[in-house]
Amino acid sequence: MTKPIVAIVGRPNVGKSTFFNKVIGRRVSIVEDKPGVTRDRLYYDTEWCGYNFTIIDTGGLEINSEDEMWMHIKAQAEVAVDVADVIVLFVDGRQGLVPDDMDVANYLRRCKKPVIVAVNKLDSNEVEKTYDFYQLGLGEPFAISCEQGKGIGDILDEICDKLPKVGEEKDDDIINIAVVGRPNAGKSSMVNKMLGYDRVIVSDISGTTRDAIDTAFTYQDTEFNLIDTAGMRRKRSIDESIESYSVMRSLAAVRRCDVCLIVVDASEPLSEQDVRICGYVHEQGKPSVILMNKWDTIEKDTHTINVFNKGLDEDLKFMNYFVPLYVSAKTGQRVRNIMSEVVAVHDEASKRVTTGVLNDVIQDAVTLVEPPAHNGKRLKILFATQHSANPPTFIFFVNDVEIIHFSYKRYLENVIRKTFEFRGTPIRLIFRNKNDKEAF
């Protein structure tokens, strides 16, 4: 499951980075009593009272500034707000309400997302200094002191209360498809060909697509949302410009999608960046189809596809479940097959295996290949169950999780795939000690 995102925003020097460091328990953000120290977004996965989420520290928001640096920082913060599920607005309780706070609050209201107001630099006896901040119109302000560590738990409790709850679905009946890949791989051309009309601008100049563009359509009585994204370059190749924000929106599109179409330029060898993009999709637990585009430019014989598949096998060993489709956005070759593959891999990711059948399969696997042992103690798999789908996640209760070895995990995964297939989707195997009450 994708972690929800919490963005920390506010004008400069109100304590955002101090709060960020306190929450994650280590000094990641630079903290200095000078505005503009934090310029780019910092991300960190954290947990509070059983809730897992990603927290983003942003630079100060100077809404009306035309200074180049502040405009850059503002654009970075806007991306964080754009992808966030909950926003924490920091203000300075010692300084009191200032016009810049009101400007930021007005901007956040237009976003129509849950906002929590944190009045920083106060101790527990100065609650009356929060009253002016009701004028922001964003609900009850919370008095906190990040330096003293006071009130941080209250803010985190409020964040967790506003986070999307487990099991909530944003669009129960809509399947989101993200089209991702390197610049100039043909993503926008592919989107246009799939839709049957020119929805997005197509150019030979890489980077034409700057934002994630959503288009709703219907296929076989099912509603879909197709998301064309900006090309993803290597981080060191991205200039300090709007392109970096576009890539972040592309990554966010992967996190919110149900299926990924990974577009690869078949006329070139699979690049390191292609593999990285596939790896990101895999890590996010998303089912996918790899579209080998520009297939019309390849000289072929009867063995060409087998040669390409063998190359993919070698480069994508970590996702041996991948589904390749050799297509051409230019000629339309096999484009009509894309949606049937999307539906197929989405069904595989949503598939559930009954507990009884699963345990029969695992028992046969254990009988065939004995589990590993350590210091005379052998691993025993007591019980297995499928905990969730999308991606399919299986929990194994064992006598000692310390004994399990990576190679035996891979063996069990291969057994599950051989029996139930799960074509085109990653699966997760989690091992818990038999008395672990937090397994679920």
Instruction: List the CATH number of the domain containing 14.
Output: 3.40.50.300
Is the Cα dihedral 78, 276, 390, 199 positive or negative?
positive
Residue 440 lies in a domain: no
Q: Would you put residue 182 in left (φ > 0), alpha (ψ -120 to 50) or beta? A: beta
Same domain? 226 vs 285 = yes
Q: Are residues 18 and 101 in the same domain?
A: yes
Residues 256 and 302 in one domain: yes
End position of a domain, from candidates 311, 328, 350: 350
Strand, helix or coil at 265? Answer: strand
- Residue 93 to residues 12, 100, 108, 396, 435, Cα–Cα distance (Å): 14, 14, 19, 50, 47
Residue 316: CB partners within 8 Å, gap ≥ 6?
Answer: 275, 278, 322
Q: Are residues 155 and 91 in the same domain?
A: yes
Structural domain for 235, as ranges: 174-350
Residue 438 falls inside a structural domain: no
Asked if residue 388 belongs to a domain, the reply is yes
User: What is the rounded distance in angstroms from the CA atom of residue 420 to the CA atom of residue 13?
Assistant: 55
The pLDDT of residue 72 is 62
- Whether residue 335 sits in one domain with residue 257: yes
pLDDT at position 430 is: 95
The reply to whether 364 and 272 lie within a common domain is no
Contact between 241 and 269 (Cβ < 8 Å)? no
In tens, the pLDDT along 24-34 reads 875 443 333 44
Tokens representing residue 18 in the block: 């101090």
Write down the pLDDT at residue 349: 97
- Residue 186, in any domain of the structure: yes
> Same domain for 253 and 332?
yes
Q: Which residues pair with 374 in a beta bridge?
A: 377
Looking at the structure, tell me whether residues 320 and 367 fall in a common domain: no
As given in the structure block, the two tokens for residue 273 are 């960046």
Residue that finishes a domain, picked among 114, 137, 162: 162
pLDDT at residue 59, as a whole number: 76
How much is the pLDDT for 167?
A: 45
Domain for residue 123, yes or no?
yes
What pLDDT score does 248 carry? 73
Q: Are residues 268 and 130 in the same domain?
A: no
Q: Which amino acid is at 96?
A: G
* Torsion on CA atoms 201, 207, 212, 217, rounded to nearest 10: 30
Q: How far is CA 112 from CA 87, 89, 211, 369, in A?
A: 10, 14, 20, 55
Q: Are residues 155 and 184 in the same domain?
A: no
Q: Quote the number of domains for the chain.
A: 3
Query: Can you tell me whether residue 374 is helix, strand or coil?
Result: strand
Contacts 24+ apart (CB under 8 A), 130-138: 130/93, 132/96, 132/97, 133/91, 133/97, 133/101, 135/97, 135/102, 136/89, 136/91, 136/97, 136/101, 136/102, 136/105, 137/105, 137/109, 138/89, 138/105, 138/108, 138/109
In a domain, 439, yes or no: no
Q: Tell me, what CATH number does 374's domain have?
A: 3.30.300.20
Domain closes at, from 125, 141, 162: 162
**Residue with token string 């002191």:** 145
- Asked if the structure places residue 168 within a domain, the reply is no
Same domain, 335 and 202: yes
**pLDDT < 50 regions, the chain:** 1, 27-40, 167-170, 200-211, 237-243, 439-440
Whether 362 and 343 share a structural domain: no
- Domain assignment of residue 169, yes or no: no
